[in-house]
């Protein structure tokens, strides 16, 4: 199945919201490799990352606008008439959600509703994958693997806003895109819940890999907030391949695949933050870290694991890289000179889909 994923998107019109972000930029690069006609819709990038590196190549039409601007969003969707939509536009940071809680809910939940309302007005066939997060679950902080049928929740505003996004998707699916009536509306919608994603080109604030790389580049100790926290780390190309694979199957069989799927590492491949940091130092070839845990800092989950059995069984998707390999691929990217990072990004895409 995975070998035909990219070829399926050749000459297809694909709208990517959030294309200026970390995952969105990598998805745009993958789709350009596939020969898709890509249109992006997002705010201007907050940092000088992969999107800015790719911009001179003009691999996609780029609309810089807010997902909360319902009129503009609808205009762009209807004028493009996409075959596929991958919705990644979001306020994606847990710690920032404590600073702008209402805006986080507005962007993540209402922004998704704005998009799906625009999709409802399309008269042509459209296949939609809405990307949420592993943090949509009611996290009991226990050593269990969360399945797609577990209760939704969210301690912090970010996690709760993404759980709300899942409810928005479910409501629109039932009300406007019901699979039972597919032959009438020709819209299919699924949601994708991915774990903690790492990879080259990410310079966001309050994210572990950018913090690690900045410290290593400056020969400074890496400050680590929650070294014993366990996360489902995965290289960015892992969930993206899952989203693309889900898009193919959803397009071919909108009735059976209009549901939620987890994408993460294998059950025995969840690392602590400490493990991630030490593996990064090993791949870099130097460095040290310091535990800067502070009981007064905003709450962040201490233990979170995903069950990917449904994606493995129904989508025939499975991760290709171990957590250690994902870290090495990531650090290798940051070690490349700026002039080589674009070519190296496309090489990693080629190497990944050849695995």
pLDDT score recorded for residue 121: 97
Q: What pLDDT was estimated at residue 2?
A: 58
CA–CA separation, 275 vs 242, rounded Å?
25
Ramachandran region, residue 308 (left: φ > 0; alpha: ψ -120 to 50; beta: rest): alpha
Please tell me the least confidently modeled range out of 9-18, 44-53, 296-305, 336-345. 296-305
Q: Report pLDDT digits (tens) over 164-215.
A: 999 999 999 999 999 999 999 999 999 999 978 999 999 988 789 999 999 9
Q: Which letter does DSSP use for residue 306 in this model?
A: B
* Three-class SS state of 56: helix
Cβ burial of 194 (10 Å; 0-12, 13-18, 19+) is buried
Question: In sequence order, which ranges of 35-120 are alpha helices (DSSP H)?
Answer: 50-54, 70-80, 94-99, 101-105, 111-120
Q: Which residues does 338 contact at the CB level (< 8 Å), separation at least 6? A: none
Closest CA to 46 of 206, 205, 159: 205
**What is the average pLDDT score of the chain?**
94
Domain architecture of the chain: domains with CATH = 2-202+234-268+306-323 (3.40.50.720)
DSSP H helical ranges for 86-232: 94-99, 101-105, 111-120, 157-175, 182-185, 208-217
Q: Which helix (H) or strand (E) holds 87?
A: strand 84-87
| Exposure string for 238-262, b = 16+ CB within 10 A, e = fewer | bbbbbbbbbbbbbbeebeebbbbbb
pTM for the full predicted model: 0.95
């Amino acid at each position: 199945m995975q070998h035909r994923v990219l070829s399926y998107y050749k000459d297809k019109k694909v709208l990517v919201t959030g294309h200026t972000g970390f995952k969105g930029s990598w998805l745009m690069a993958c789709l350009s490799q596939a020969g898709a006609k890509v249109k992006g819709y997002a705010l201007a990038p907050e940092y000088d990352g992969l999107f800015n590196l790719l911009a001179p190549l003009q691999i996609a039409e780029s609309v810089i606008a807010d997902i909360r601007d319902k009129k503009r969003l609808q205009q762009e969707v209807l004028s493009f008439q996409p075959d596929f939509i991958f919705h990644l536009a979001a306020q994606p940071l847990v710690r920032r959600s404590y600073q702008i809680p209402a805006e986080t809910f507005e962007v993540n939940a209402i922004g998704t509703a704005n998009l799906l309302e625009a999709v409802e007005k399309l008269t042509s066939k459209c296949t939609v994958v809405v990307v949420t997060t592993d943090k949509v679950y009611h996290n009991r902080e226990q050593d269990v693997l969360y399945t797609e049928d577990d209760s939704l929740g969210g301690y912090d505003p970010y996690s709760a806003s993404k759980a709300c996004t899942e409810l928005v998707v479910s409501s629109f699916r039932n009300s406007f895109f019901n699979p039972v009536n597919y032959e009438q509306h020709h819209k299919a919608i699924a949601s994708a819940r991915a774990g903690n994603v790492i990879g080259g080109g990410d310079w966001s604030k309050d994210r572990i890999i950018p913090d690690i790389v900045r410290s290593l580049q400056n020969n400074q100790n890496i400050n680590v907030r929650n070294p014993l926290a366990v996360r489902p780390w995965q290289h960015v190309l892992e969930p993206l391949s899952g989203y693309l694979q889900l898009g193919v199957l959803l397009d071919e069989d909108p009735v059976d695949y209009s549901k939620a799927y987890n994408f993460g590492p294998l059950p025995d491949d969840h690392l602590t933050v400490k493990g991630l940091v030490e593996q990064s130092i090993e791949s870099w070839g130097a460095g040290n870290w310091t535990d800067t845990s502070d009981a007064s800092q905003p709450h962040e989950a201490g233990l979170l694991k995903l069950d990917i059995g449904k994606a493995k069984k129904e989508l025939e998707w499975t991760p290709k890289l171990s957590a250690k390999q994902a870290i090495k691929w990531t650090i290798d990217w940051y070690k490349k000179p700026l002039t080589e990072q674009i070519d190296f990004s496309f090489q990693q895409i080629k190497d990944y889909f050849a695995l």
